Amino acid sequence: MFTHFKNIDTAFKHIKVFAICFLAANVLVSGIFALLCYRSVNAAQGRVFILHNGKELSAFASDRKTNLPVVLRDHIKTFHEDFFNLSPDDKAIQANVTKALYLADESAKKQYDNLRESGYYNNLIAANISQQIKVDSTILDTESQPYRFTCYATEKLIRSSSTTVRKLVTRGVVEDIRQQSDNNPHGFLIRRWEVLENGDESVKTVQP
């Protein structure tokens, strides 16, 4: 009889060990399955589809921080091009500057108002001068927000009789406002913007 009870006790222990191992295996498999599902969902969210010329192309979205310097430089470049690329037409000037002002705060509006009040834009129109800018380089500090920058550019004032080349240096900070729109696709805003230098470097006369 005692042998019979001993066998039952041993069998019960074996069943208990088996049940514990089975439960642990289920938990492990469930955990691995959940992890794989999580990675799969993240991968799916990172994949975007672009329609180009009637064809669907697959691409992968990257983390905002990964391309931060590239996006910041493009935002700064776009702002300067919109603000300084001007043709001798009041409506065209207004349209370009308006686009630029969506990318910056009141510091840019103040610069625009000062130029308008000084008659700068009227002089461009009256003398039929086209103004073009090329951003040469942008120095960025991305260690902390807001991101400080200094922009170096070459500016050309093109007249029928001559072309004046100017050196343009500006600085400011860029803040991540985390809100993208059609007028501000990057979701950044330039603040405390100021012009440090905007002086003539050379004048090239056009021969008649």
Task: State how far the Cα of 64 lies from the Cα of 142, in Å rounded to an integer.
Answer: 13
Q: Are residues 38 and 84 in the same domain?
A: no
pTM passes above 0.75 = no
Q: What is the domain range of residue 43?
A: 2-48+53-59
Both 94 and 27 in a single domain? no
pLDDT of residue 44: 47
Residue 8's pLDDT is: 61
Residue that is written with structure tokens 């180009």 in the block: 52
pLDDT tens for the chain, 208 residues long, are 545 445 566 666 667 766 677 777 777 777 786 767 566 555 444 454 444 455 444 544 555 667 899 999 999 999 999 999 999 999 999 999 999 999 999 999 999 999 999 999 999 999 999 999 999 999 999 999 999 999 999 999 999 899 999 999 999 999 999 889 999 999 999 999 999 999 988 878 765 5
Looking at the structure, do residues 36 and 126 belong to the same domain, yes or no? no
Is 118 found in the same domain as 79?
yes
CATH number of the domain that 201 lies in?
3.10.450.230
Number of folded domains in the chain?
2
